[in-house]
Amino acid sequence: MKILSRPMASSLNLIWIVFALGIVFYAFMAMEAGKHILPSNFDESHIAMLDNVEAKSNAGAPYAEVAAEARQAYPYWNNFMAGITGTYFGFGSNGTTDPTRYYASMPDLQKSVLSVHMFLGGACIILGIFQFWPAFRRNYRKAHRTIGGAYILAVYTMIFASVYQLLHAGVENTFQGFTFYIQLWFLVISTLITQTLAIYFIRKRNFALHLGFQVYTFVAFINAPIQRLDWIIFGSIYPHLTQGEVNNLVNILTFWQSLLIGYLIFAWNRASSPVRPRPIAITPPGRPLATSVTFLATIGVITAVAQYLAFPGLGSWIVANTIVPASTLAADSALFDGQTLQNIIFTTALCIAIISGVWLMIRDEKSSLARNAFYVSSVLAGAFQIVWGLRLGEPSMAVTSGGGFYLVSGTSMIAFPMIALLFQNLGRENLWREVMVFASNFAFAPVLLLWMHALWYALDVIPQHYLDVGHGYILAAGGAILGPTFTGFFCLFNSRETRSRAIS
């Protein structure tokens, strides 16, 4: 396949337009929110309105009853969400009323800086729609470069506005506190690094790496609309939960979703580029990499046996029971207590998935035995996790993220191997290997859950108040999902399929 066919290109353009309309809608709402908090728009009476709307919403008042005050005191986005999910979720306690109240109390300079941040966030989303649209990049090179310059300037300005806000707001005034504060710093720092790398590689004329790192910055921006969409979806499914409780689940989902969207954006731009006339050179992994991955797989297998068979349940491990609420540990332990056969089958499947996945990646990717063993074992281990996720159920203050981790991990351990199998059957070996990076990395997700708990236990930086409400578990589970997704995403930039294309 040298380039996308015309019907396929037209279909993808249509999908992009629909996607663009959705995120542009959010972009304008973000800009309106930035306008709302400007010092010139501050009204002292809004503080009392926020308190009144929150109190009525806690009692389950219909939106029509609070609409008059809510439209004055809250940005349009909050009203839009509450109109769909209901006021208990949209305006009630343990939700976005807290940050809205804080924004109203900020000094004028801080309000102005946060307003700039919100406005530029919306602007970057709108500019990104054109920058990562293959037809636009290909046909309007000068405009692409001009918009790119404006995009880069907006990115850096927004980053510094974010740093200013985070330093002045602190953990205590950030929505949901420690977890979201850490996530925001991660986004700020990673966006700063990747934007700088994108500039470096365009100067080196390495268009693939430039595109990849630039796509990551766009991923960072679309985190916001994806998060809001998740709030609306899960707020509609669980209107009896607070927004904070639902966000315990959303914190695990959003970056996984955004990175996968970023993967599709990069792959679309790549597929719109011609194939290089000469086949690429395929070299085996170097000895240091092979040795490191083999060591990691060995530790992974040992951890899997210990974590799911010898001492099943997070509550059996001091690194978890020290930083995770007792109710969350009890719910997790109930999945494994008295389930010896289940634990044996799952542990065996997980170990086979880890071993066969690593074998395919660094030893012999052509092995039919290893491929089939990986497909079967990964799907089986994924199915167990989906069942566990459904058993844990909805997020809450009692079970933190509910079944979120196991559902995402299980879905990934099924979906990526099946996509790899599809590419294998289509004879697309480059794409098979690219997807297998995701698949083989997600075989580590169940053991990464324990490793991430050990990391946060060792760091000992989470305040006790936030440990008591589950932030240790959320950060560990989020890290266990982010690690495999992050690795797969960044390996994409220099994959065989990418190197086989003349990206420009």
Contact 93, 101 (CB under 8 A): no
Last residue of a domain, one of 105, 125, 156: 105
What pLDDT does 2 receive?
Answer: 57
Contact 328, 335 (CB under 8 A): no
Q: Is 187 part of a structural domain of the chain?
A: no
CA 194, chain centre distance (Å): 16
Helix axes 429-442, 340-362, angle to 10 degrees: 140
What pLDDT does 279 receive?
Answer: 81
Q: What sections of 272-363 are H helices per DSSP?
A: 287-305, 318-321, 326-333, 340-362
Q: Is 210 part of a structural domain of the chain?
A: no
In total, how many domains does the chain have? 2
Neighbouring residues of 310: CB distance < 8 A, sequence distance ≥ 6: none
The amino acid present at 142, given as its one-letter code, is K
Q: Is 101 part of a structural domain of the chain?
A: yes
Burial call 472-493: b when 16+ CB within 10 Å, e when fewer: bbbbbbbbbbbbbbbbbbebbb
pLDDT tens, residue order, the chain (504 aa): 457 788 888 899 999 999 999 999 999 999 999 999 999 998 999 999 999 999 999 999 999 999 999 999 999 999 999 999 999 999 999 888 999 999 999 999 999 999 999 999 999 999 999 999 999 998 999 999 999 999 999 999 999 999 999 999 999 998 889 999 999 999 999 999 999 999 999 999 999 999 999 999 999 999 999 999 999 999 999 999 999 999 999 999 999 999 999 999 999 999 999 999 888 878 888 889 899 999 999 999 999 999 999 999 999 999 999 999 999 999 999 999 999 999 999 999 999 999 999 999 999 999 999 999 999 999 999 999 999 999 999 988 778 888 999 999 999 999 999 999 999 999 999 999 999 999 999 999 999 999 999 999 999 999 999 999 999 999 999 999 999 999 999 999 999 999 999 998
Residues in the chain: 504
Q: Is 430 part of a structural domain of the chain?
A: yes
Neighbouring residues of 239: CB distance < 8 A, sequence distance ≥ 6: 85, 86, 88, 89
Q: Is 405 part of a structural domain of the chain?
A: yes
Last residue of a domain, one of 51, 85, 105: 105
- Tell me the C-alpha to C-alpha distance, in Å, between residue 424 and each of 308, 349, 419, 493, 502: 31, 22, 9, 21, 23
Reported as type and span, the H/E element at residue 215 is: helix 207-237
Query: What is the DSSP-derived secondary structure letter of residue 310?
Result: I
Domain that holds residue 488: 290-500
d(CA 14, CA 213): 25
Closest CA relative to residue 261, chosen from 229, 293, 232: 229
What pLDDT does 408 receive?
Answer: 97
Q: Is 280 part of a structural domain of the chain?
A: no
What pLDDT does 400 receive?
Answer: 82
Q: Is 142 part of a structural domain of the chain?
A: no
Q: DSSP for 141-195, please give it.
A: HHHHHHHHHHHHHHHHHHHHHHHHHHHHHTGGGSTTTHHHHHHHHHHHHHHHHHH
d(CA 381, CA 356): 13
Last residue of a domain, one of 105, 122, 143: 105
Neighbouring residues of 348: CB distance < 8 A, sequence distance ≥ 6: 377
Contact 176, 167 (CB under 8 A): no
Tokens 């306008």 -> residue:
35
Q: Is 334 part of a structural domain of the chain?
A: yes
